[in-house]
Amino acid sequence: MTVEQVRIAFQQRVPMRDGVTLSADIYFPASTMGEQRWPVILTRTPYVKADGRLVEIGRFYAGHGYVFVAMDVRGRGDSEGKFVPYFNEGRDGYDAIEWCAAQPWSSGAVGTIGGSYGGRIQWLAALLAPPHLRAMVARVAPSDPFVETPTGLPSPMHLCWLHLVNGRVNQVMGAINWAEVYEHLPLLTMDEKAGIASAPWRSDIAHSQLDEYWEPLCYQKNFNRVNVPVLHISGWYDDEQIGTPLNFAGMVERGATPEARAGQRLLMGPWGHNVNATSKLGEVDFGDSALIDLKAEELTWFNRWLKGQQRDLSADARAPVRIFVMGANTWRNEQEWPLARTRWTHYYLHSGGRANSRFGDGWLSTEAPKGSEPGDVYSYDPGRPVPFITEPTSSQIGGPDDYAAIERRDDVLVYVSEPLSEDMEVTGPIKVELYASSSAVDTDFMAMLIDVWPNGFRQRLCDGMVRARFRDGMERPESIEPGQVYRYQIDCWNTSQVFKAGHRIGLQITSSAFPKFDRNLNTGEALGQTSEFVSAEQRIYHDGQYASVLLLPVIP
């Protein structure tokens, strides 16, 4: 079908249950295709549907026998109503899906597709079980509140995104000096510092723990209410990556029906938040095979679930899990996540009491510490936080960056293994169990997994953090006793990396990763509301009683 044969109906009004109408552009297959009723693919976006990329996608799907509906979410673009991020999207998504199914040009089978915001809102709609929703393609979907930022507060960089979607059209993120804005305290008035007014920013900070305010946005505990096959897509360097493997595994285990549990597929590439856009991130080139025909993958998925075309699926398309193994730079099919053949391997932290910086004496070993091995001490000053290497806007937060310069600081503890005698693959979730004390009543601990190259390049793989007051969950904040030893569990998300022979496994421990996470001011006061801070003396333990450990999923 030629581009000219695709017919587009612009700015069609779609009624919601409360009388608000949303605006949609609808792409129809040519009438010469014979069929007058087609399956529908719906995308709902806060980034305005008048976008050249959506036009291209709409023409693509219409050219393959689908009606493609591109819709502005409530309060954005040409849609009526007020935009409040996420809070209306479950109901509006349900109504939009059922409207698509009821149209005279629809076969009644509806699929949804979208990334980031457009990924998460598919889940919020799916929780309500729209009868005609048949399949989803969820790219880089954000998680439940505080899964990505377990701090009780939005990341400072979230304000940049709120600026982008402030009003009905997209704002220019680069118009503001974000590096300067992120330094502002208290966090609550950072929007004023940026020269914008953001009601969502203020509301989110006012609810600095998991409570009833956040309940409408929680989907990951409710997979038992979702009866939809889902193609889950993300990249190892997606700054919202944690949600995608969680969602796949959660649906496989707890989806509403056996058919839903069997109808899940995970696709993970060597990509950032903008998936499948480049084979090179920062200084690391993942090779020619890093980019795939993602449109074809997604079309195959919809053909399977909206048209029933399953007979000719390739082995790759049938695989429940398809991952790109970095370092080896190859794609591989798997049957589950995490991989069943994983050897969970403990790498214990050790030192002579001076693991400060990469010039210190910290090391990793599979041998557990014995006796009274000395711990490591550093001072965390919120006025001089450890930088997290990133672009200033929220378009992509972090990548395979070189942390060699960061690890010159004494407030960064560094533990490294001996050089590996042979290649070692690490694929799966990365966890750190840390025993630590602080002079403060609340503070943070960060962990980062590093591939230490023989040439000195220290490649970030993945990282995570814990806020001390939330050590037992985001619903139950509780101060710590200064000087008391606590066990902290840090989720460092996921990776798939072959550590090549001669490389070393590295672990970085510190108390800030700014501006990815807000600075803990160490005072125990109300989060985001104050400007006063104190320095904290942090002590990390690794002895016979308190064996701090990095848990790696090693693949034989």
Q: How far apart are CA 163 and CA 454, in angstroms?
A: 42
> What's the pLDDT score for residue 395?
84
Angle between helices 294-306 and 52-62 (to 10 degrees): 50
> What's the pLDDT score for residue 4?
56
Residue 318's CB: how many other CB atoms inside 10 A?
12
Provide CB contacts within 8 A for 205, sequence distance 6+: 153, 154, 187, 188, 527, 528, 529
CA dihedral 125, 126, 129, 130 (to 10 degrees): 60
The reply to whether 289 belongs to the active site is no
The kind and range of the H/E element at 99 are helix 89-102
Low-confidence ranges of the chain (pLDDT < 70): 1-4, 32-35
Q: Is the C-alpha dihedral spanning 240, 246, 248, 254 positive or negative?
A: negative
CA dihedral 357, 362, 365, 371 (to 10 degrees): -150
The active-site residue out of 25, 144, 238, 401 is 238
Q: For each of the domains in the chain, give its residue range(s) and CATH number, in order of start.
A: 3-263 (3.40.50.1820), 343-555 (2.60.120.260)
pLDDT of 304-343, one tens digit each? 999 999 877 888 888 999 999 999 999 999 999 999 999 9
Token pair in block for residue 376: 């490591």
The active-site residue out of 116, 198, 208, 511 is 116
> What's the pLDDT score for residue 438?
98
Token pair in block for residue 371: 């006796």
The active-site residue out of 64, 158, 163, 273 is 273
Burial class (CB in 10 A: 0-12, 13-18, 19+), 261: middle
Evaluate whether 526 touches 208 at the Cβ level (below 8 Å): yes
Q: How far apart are CA 322 and CA 265, in angstroms?
A: 8
> What's the pLDDT score for residue 308?
93
DSSP string, 203-246: HHHH--SSSGGGGGG--TT-GGG----EEEEEETT-TTTTHHHH
Q: Where are the beta strands (DSSP E) in 242-375?
A: 264-269, 280-281, 284-285, 321-325, 330-334, 343-350, 363-365
> What's the pLDDT score for residue 2?
52
The reply to whether 423 belongs to the active site is no
> What's the pLDDT score for residue 1?
47
> What's the pLDDT score for residue 3?
53
The reply to whether 365 belongs to the active site is no
Radius of gyration of the CA atoms of the chain, in A: 24
CA dihedral 394, 396, 402, 404 (to 10 degrees): 20
* Total count of residues recorded for the chain: 556
DSSP 391: -
Evaluate whether 88 touches 120 at the Cβ level (below 8 Å): no
Q: How far apart are CA 482 and CA 206, in angstroms?
A: 26
